[in-house]
Structure 1
Amino acid sequence: MAADKKISQDDLLVHPKHNPKVAALLSIVPGMGQIYNKRYMKGTVLFILFAAFLVAMFDFITTGLQGLVTLGTEPRVDDSRVFLSNGILSLIFAVFFLSMYGISIQDAHKDAKRIQLGWKVPGMREGFKNSWDNSFPYIIIAPGLTLLIFVVVFPLMFMMFLAFTNLSPNNQPPRHLLEWVGFENFVNLFALDIWRNTFVNVLSWTLIWTFVATTLQIALAMFLAIIVNDPRIRFKKLIRTVFILPWAVPAFVTIIIFSALFNDNFGAINTQILIPLFGEGLPWLQNALYTRIALIMIQVWLGFPFVYALFTGVLQSISSDWYEAADIDGASRWQKFTNITFPHLMFATGPLLIMQYSFNFNNFNIIYLFNQGGPPVRNQVAGGSDILISWVYSLTFETGQIAMAAAISIILGLMVATFAFFQFRRSRSFKEEGTF
């Protein structure tokens, strides 16, 4: 049976002597496989493009990759940062060349198989039209992809490579050459007491800040949206407009205003409220605990309008028939909330709510603008209200611990990416089907 099947399959071949393996082997020299397939124009163009790329970029790629290994050989002459940048660019160009090289081989192998089955090689005009039709989506996205690579991927790779070097305030190029130190920065982050204590404290506060501030803003938005959506509430448009106003004001303006209101000496919260009532104010900017409380309250104020707008739209889309059926069944308000309102809200806004947690995890603006991550904490290299992202900023631009900041950034990125990945996977909004 197997032999019969093989014979029947061979009988389907119109040109059995045209071998796809030969086309793939010939494509080791770019374009030769296409010429073997009698696609002469395509093969010629590929050969010229690959040859031009090699002539123009070969020296840059080889020199860049070599510099990526050594990071320079002569202090005060070689700048390790330039060597690192050129090395990363060389990696990007090399990956691009190898990808196109592999695609060229696959293209020759695929066309050869089609020729075996009787496919007729199109003429020059038809071939150009087919190529344009097939490649049009890639041509459209190519500018954006190129910009993404050099604006996003390149800086990320540069930061990641720096995490494995000995760049520090006392070892700055071009006066000194950088060296690869492997995972030494990551080890120091957990082995040295000052770094370990600071990292644990900052990470703990970052997680508390993210969970408490985001959950409170979501809970407040949900409560207000449900109350305002009640049919007995009048002047809904006015109330909704008022609740949206904090979102309309630029966040940095609001944060600076609140920073003045919470000022220990002249802030209105102390001078106009707490001191008249209790005889003394609170050290909002001098005590880490009070600074954190103030930050959470400000973030709730800044964050709830957006979530409120989301919930309002979803609530208005829920059919009243659901609630009427629940009333007939004798359901209580809590049962209607837990079985109708809450599932609808989470299903429709789940991914956006997850983004709120991710945003607050990296919410640099409020931390820095309110109190620059302060107040200072003894035996720590971070302020009392610093979260990971503001600590990284401080290490980079204030103390020059760039390599350590890069190591922390990698850990930070992995945490956010892992959290977002698993939460999005579990979100019912990203499933094709779901039932309430």
Structure 2
Amino acid sequence: MIEERFDAIVVGAGMAGNAAALTMAKRGMKVLQLERGEYSGSKNVQTAILDAHIVEQLIPDFREDAPLERRLVEQRFWLMDSRSHIGLRYRFNDCNDERPNRYIVIRALFDKWFSWKVREAGATVLYQTTVTELAQNRRGRVIGVRTDRQDGIIHADVVVLAEGVNGLLGTRAGWRERPTPDQVALQVKEMHILPRKTIEARFNLKRDEGVVIEAAGTISRGMTGIGFIYANRECISLGVGCLVSDLQRTGETPYGVLDRFKRYPSVEPLINGSELKEYSAHLIPKRGYNTIPQLYGKGWVVVGDAAELDNTSHCGRLNVAMISGRIAAEAIFRAKSRGGRSTSNSFSLYKKMLNESYEDLKKYKDMPALMHTQPDNFLLTHPQLVSKAIQNFARIGGRPKAGEEKSDSKSFGDVWSWTGLFGDGFRLPRAWR
């Protein structure tokens, strides 16, 4: 039994939990981190984009030994119909700097390295340990946790909940509702092994350059969802993500959607001849800024996916998680530095600092409602119509013939009214502002 008392207990060893534990340990706090997996990252095989300046705030010299796949030099966006895609490329001007700002990482490797940095900073980390209950005193203040490893309470001044989107501790305590199917997306992914030179040739890359492709359109069959492709060092991560409620409504299976995506003419050549290494699934929050739950209380704070902090318009969920973990830790340290027992008001600084850091969450707060209520328009109807118009233009090599122009106009009118089309065009920038 652990008899000693801790300044803080962190539940979870993902990006948010590691950031919180590392920040507090570096400031001399006595920290215990509990992770139910075999090791940090053992249950996470995602690939993600890492923002270097966010990691530098935690580990300034991370480039020296962090498991970085490739520096991200280009992002591509595909709008797809059933047989073709319209593409947009953006190449970063700072991609060739001595200290690039974006990297592609495989979470299983990066999280394990991150956890090692937490232990190196002085925190106590226990793996294969499940927190079964939050211990509270008669006044409702959290005073520690109970685990499946021992009887009794492990005491702490504050508990940081970094348990993920489907964590049960916060819901059991009544601090947040369990996410409903329309508030979470199920992301499924495969990892395809290919020689490094083959990947670089297929994606037109040099040395350690990396590319990420995001695809939307008919691949999700009218469901709210996207496809993604990451060019890693010696493998390609490929997957799709859709709202769970849409999967239930349509009867589509995640692996069925993924299988169709792999067979698209634009995708299949990229993974042709590869060896399939693994298949995985992961729930991610999709509520947005308007539905962020309670973030702190008497003796507790919540961070990362457990706080449903997700930038719905960018692929930076792990970066948002790290920011929330670091800010929560800084707020806890400041509260402790003032002396005395911390109260719920002591952690109000966490929310204030979070609001100042997450301008993008506010800026795109209306995007989920727009995309979730009208996915057919943006992800099925419009991609087909735009693709048909471009096909007609490209086939004649110049100005469309009168008959073809009428055909395109009729197509728009047949599947979607002009009022609806202009309505979507008006609502999209309003949700984006």
Fold match by TM threshold 0.5: no
Determine which structure has greater relative contact order: mean sequence separation of CA pairs < 8 Å that are 6+ residues apart, divided by chain length.
2
Q: Please indicate the TM-score interval, normalised by the length of the shorter structure.
A: under 0.3
The structure whose residues are more often helix, as a share, is 1
Larger Rg: 1
Q: TM-score, normalised by structure 2?
A: 0.25
So what's the TM-score if we normalise by structure 1?
A: 0.25
